[in-house]
Chains A and B, each alone.
Chain A
Amino acid sequence: MKNALFLTTAMSLIAGPALADVNLLSWGGAYGNSHLEAYAKPFEAETGTKVVMADADNPATPIKAMVEAGNVSADVASVEYADAVRLCDEGLLELIDPAILAPTADGVAAEEDFIDGAITECFVGTDVYSMVLAYDDAQFSDAKPASPADFFDLEAFPGKRTMRKGAKFNLELALMADGVPADQVYEVLGTDEGVDQAFAKLEEIKDDVIWWEAGAQPPQLLADGEVSMAYAFNGRIFNAAQGEGKPFKIIWDGQIYEMEGWVIPKGAPNLEEALEFVTYSTSPAPQARAAEFISYGPPRKSAAALVGNIEGTDQPMGPNLPTTEANMQNALGSDLDFWVDHDAELNERFNSWLAS
């Protein structure tokens, strides 16, 4: 991360922003590729404005550094929802007027078409990803796990588990497994008793959990047979199952979804082009196109129907997306305000719990 920060700062010092191009700061990897194929290339073809892509480990970090140093080299950046709100509150982002967003083909206004919370003052959602439970089909011959409660049931579904090393997602999952309905999870977690309850539930499987740090680890652990169930990002599991033919199955019950989307750093050199790019890339067709490259769902309701087959295959992408109707039963939207408030506190407690 430090490298990325230093590199981007250094790069901006040396190269300086190119004129009248859109400088897009993205994540690289398969996700960055979906931005390139579904947004950047068609946008170039349509408008003639060049899109210059750069990668960062987490584009939110260089934004903070760039704006504070007064040397902004990115026009549009892809960031997580939580970071977008944080950066926006700190005055590091340009405001984006929702009126610039494209309506649907039927003339429905964009604000109606996006799912709740996908548009804020500074942020427009591009995709929805989620934390899901997944298991190795080969390891369970009879009954298959189907819910968060099954993840904590070591007797019925033996084998080790892998979970993200951190408080976020795990506490919510523990409460859902303990019978708290999805819509009350954050209410319960807001109380001391609720946090105790979540940790008590995690304690049940603590000795059988391998904690992962990098998103690539859980599919690897599943593939090696090191664990039988994993709590991981849906895109990673999908890639292993689809790309490498692993027998991994996703349990959508209890999924926790989050959003990623565009922000414009304050003082972006090509603001006009940046807004144009945001308008184009968040219209329904490119949104649906992006979902064909990576299993992250479009936040526009009208885009869902437009999603075709998985790129390079003849299988539909729809069932693999977190936003598909059937997968949204008992889904939980990650509560950003809660985590911004309690991130440090709960992570300290989590690490203390982990070490004890």
Chain B
Amino acid sequence: MANATDPHAASVTTASGAGDGTLTTADGKPLARALARSQGRARRRAFLLVLPLLAFILITFVVPIGQMLQRSFHNDGFSANMPQISQWFAENPRGTDIDEAAWTALALDLQASAEERSIGVVGTRINYDVPGTRSLFTSTGRKVRRGIEPPYRETLLDIDEDWGDPVLWGAMRDASTPYTGNFYLASLDRTRAEDGSIEMVPERQQVYQMLFMRTFWLSLLITGLTFVLGFPVAHLLATLPMRKSNLLMILVLLPFWTSLLVRTTSWMVLLQQQGVINDILVWLGVIGDGQRLQMIYNQTGTIIAMTHILLPFMILPLYSVMRTINPSYVRAARSLGATSWTAFRRIYFPQTLPGLGAGALLVFILAVGYYITPALVGGSSGQLISNMIAMHMTDTLNWSMAAALAALLLASVLVLYWLYDRLVGIDNLKLG
């Protein structure tokens, strides 16, 4: 603080220079303490002012997201409702023969769980790992609700011989502790083999890795497209006289203010095979009636619609940065003999980087989590990972799986953000 080139520090030193070396205020208190007190008060007041916002964010954002993410590695559906067999698993390591004690524990747990009506939760948990077993639990539960007689092994195998399946026992062992990494494994198209090692799921079941790759690739592509389309527009807006640029600005902002669904549906009307663009092309004779182009319900449709919807997020930060760029720099470069391309490349473009960085980051992060547009216009090849998260949230009700997928998505975005910070520097970000 008190370095020699700081004019404030210098003036204070001069003012109280006559004393015993410590700075004091006019009423004789040490300056440092007085300063700390008054600043502390200001800080407390500032903190009180943001407290409502902080509480709001905590309650509506941090806590729910934290709870949701917790589900991705914590699911006590089995362990909480089947205590005895969970205990048996804890005491006997993997590879132990299933003895009579295990069957007894399983049978009594099943009966108790059926009585308490928690058998559905138990079955659902195991069904995540071994598809087709939920009904095994619920139907067995219905039969043993009123009581179960020894010998338990024979009784259970008699009800359904699937109870002897080693894969099922492996899954029950995995589920016997509430903490599990299985949902993350499944999110990466991997599963646990019978002996506990990790292996890929059969090829026809593999979908998540491919969707993650596609999501990142399409988001990158869309970010690139919004840059290519948005840069000239932002430049035009920034260099035109205010009156004209304001008018043009409305054209950028109007779609921005229009509902997302309306814009998506408009693209359907334009792009579909019986839509406006195809009709015009057929009318002009460019294509025959039988060769109408398939421009929507596929990846193309997703790219077009998302690029359009995300375009303002690129234009606005670029525009606000470009407005502040002094035109005399480029003029100076030109007058010193640079070609217009060199002047643009070496002088103008580097100055737009903060806006470009902000725009690219915004567009990319929004694109990675986009859901409704790919759902409506994506068809089979334009689906993104968010569509699978939605499916697990609403259709299969496997919230743990949805949370694991979302956590991976969040983590990879954070990694990219960190990379961006390392490469470009987050201080260089300018939103307007």
Which residue numbers of A lie inside 8 Å of B, CB to CB? 1-2, 57-58, 61, 64, 86, 88-91, 160, 165-166, 206, 209-211, 213-214, 217, 224-226, 337, 340-345, 347-349, 351-355
Q: Is the CB of B274 within 8 A of A226?
A: yes
How does the 8 Å CB contact mask read for B123-135 relative to A, with 1 for contact and 0 for none?
Answer: 1100110011111
Known: A1-B393, A355-B381. A348 touches B207 (CB 8 A): yes
Q: Is the CB of B134 within 8 A of A341?
A: yes
Q: Is the CB of A349 within 8 A of B274?
A: no
Q: Is the CB of A340 within 8 A of B131?
A: no
Q: Does B396 contact A (CB under 8 A)?
A: yes
| Residues of chain B in range 380-427 having any CB-CB distance to chain A below 8 Å | 380-381, 383, 388, 390-398, 401
CB-contact partner of A89 in B120, B211, B272, B376, under 8 A: B120
Q: Is the CB of A211 within 8 A of B376?
A: no
Q: Is the CB of A341 within 8 A of B127?
A: yes
- Would you call the interface of chain B mostly helix, strand, loop, or mixed? helix
- Listed stretches B11-19, B111-119, B172-180; interface member: B111-119
Q: Does B146 contact A (CB under 8 A)?
A: no
Q: Does B84 contact A (CB under 8 A)?
A: no
Q: Does B273 contact A (CB under 8 A)?
A: yes
Q: Which residues of A lie under 8 Å from residue B275 when comparing CB positions?
A: 224
Closest chain-B Cβ to A219's Cβ sits at a distance in Å of 14
Measured CA separation A352–B208 after assembly (Å): 9
Known: A1-B393, A91-B117, A91-B120. A342 touches B132 (CB 8 A): yes
| Most chain A C-beta atoms within 10 Å of own C-beta, residue among B120, B275, B383 | B120
Known: A352-B205, A355-B210. A344 touches B120 (CB 8 A): no
Measured CA separation A305–B414 after assembly (Å): 62
CB-contact partner of A349 in B132, B204, B380, B388, under 8 A: B204
Which residue numbers of B lie inside 8 Å of A, CB to CB? 116-121, 123-124, 127-128, 131-135, 138-139, 204-207, 210-211, 214, 272-275, 297, 375-376, 379-381, 383, 388, 390-398, 401
CB-contact partner of B207 in A86, A206, A213, A352, under 8 A: A352
Q: Which residues of A lie under 8 Å from residue B207 when comparing CB positions?
A: 348, 351-352, 355
Q: Which residues of A lie under 8 Å from residue B134 when comparing CB positions?
A: 340-341
Measured CA separation A224–B393 after assembly (Å): 32
CB-contact partner of A341 in B135, B273, B375, B398, under 8 A: B135
Closest chain-B Cβ to A181's Cβ sits at a distance in Å of 23
Q: Is the CB of A88 within 8 A of B120?
A: yes
Q: Is the CB of B395 within 8 A of A166?
A: yes
CB-contact partner of A342 in B119, B131, B376, B388, under 8 A: B131
Q: Is the CB of A90 within 8 A of B205?
A: no
Measured CA separation A166–B401 after assembly (Å): 17
| Most chain B C-beta atoms within 10 Å of own C-beta, residue among A217, A341, A349 | A341
Known: A1-B394, A210-B379, A347-B396. A89 touches B205 (CB 8 A): no
Q: Which residues of B lie under 8 Å from residue A340 when comparing CB positions?
A: 127, 134-135
Q: Which residue of B lies closest to A336 (CB)?
A: B135
Q: Is the CB of B297 within 8 A of A210?
A: yes
| Most chain B C-beta atoms within 10 Å of own C-beta, residue among A209, A337, A352 | A352
Measured CA separation A100–B116 after assembly (Å): 24
Q: Is the CB of A351 within 8 A of B383?
A: yes
Measured CA separation A344–B123 after assembly (Å): 14
| Most chain A C-beta atoms within 10 Å of own C-beta, residue among B116, B133, B390, B395 | B395
Q: Which residues of A lie under 8 Å from residue B128 when comparing CB positions?
A: 344
Q: Is the CB of A344 within 8 A of B376?
A: no
Q: Which residues of B lie under 8 Å from residue A354 when comparing CB positions?
A: 380, 383
Q: Which residues of B lie under 8 Å from residue A349 when comparing CB positions?
A: 204-205
Q: Which residue of A lies closest to B118 (CB)?
A: A91
Q: Which residues of A lie under 8 Å from residue B132 when comparing CB positions?
A: 341-342, 345
Q: Which residues of B lie under 8 Å from residue A206 when comparing CB positions?
A: 380
Closest chain-B Cβ to A71's Cβ sits at a distance in Å of 15
Q: Is the CB of A89 within 8 A of B396?
A: no
Q: Which residues of B lie under 8 Å from residue A345 when comparing CB positions?
A: 131-132, 205
Closest chain-A Cβ to B132's Cβ sits at a distance in Å of 5
Measured CA separation A265–B60 after assembly (Å): 25
Measured CA separation A340–B204 after assembly (Å): 20
Q: Which residues of A lie under 8 Å from residue B123 when comparing CB positions?
A: 89
Q: Is the CB of A347 within 8 A of B117?
A: no
Give the 6 A-B CB pairs with smallest separation, nearest first. Answer: A89-B120, A91-B117, A345-B131, A352-B207, A354-B380, A90-B120
Q: Is the CB of B211 within 8 A of A90?
A: no
Measured CA separation A232–B308 after assembly (Å): 30
Measured CA separation A213–B207 after assembly (Å): 19
Known: A340-B134, A348-B205. A355 touches B380 (CB 8 A): yes
A-B CB contact pairs (8 Å), 21 listed: A1-B394, A58-B394, A86-B397, A88-B120, A89-B117, A89-B119, A89-B138, A90-B124, A214-B376, A341-B127, A341-B133, A343-B395, A344-B392, A344-B401, A347-B391, A347-B396, A352-B206, A355-B211, A355-B380, A355-B381, A355-B383
Measured CA separation A123–B392 after assembly (Å): 24
Please name 7 further chain A to chain B contacts, defined as beta carbons within 8 Å, in addition to the given A57-B394, A91-B116, A213-B375, sorted by A numbering. A1-B390, A86-B124, A91-B120, A166-B391, A166-B395, A226-B272, A354-B380
Q: Which residues of A lie under 8 Å from residue B138 when comparing CB positions?
A: 89, 337
Q: Is the CB of B394 within 8 A of A211?
A: no
Closest chain-B Cβ to A224's Cβ sits at a distance in Å of 5
Measured CA separation A88–B272 after assembly (Å): 43
Measured CA separation A345–B134 after assembly (Å): 12
Measured CA separation A211–B119 after assembly (Å): 35
Q: Is the CB of B380 within 8 A of A352?
A: no
Closest chain-B Cβ to A179's Cβ sits at a distance in Å of 24
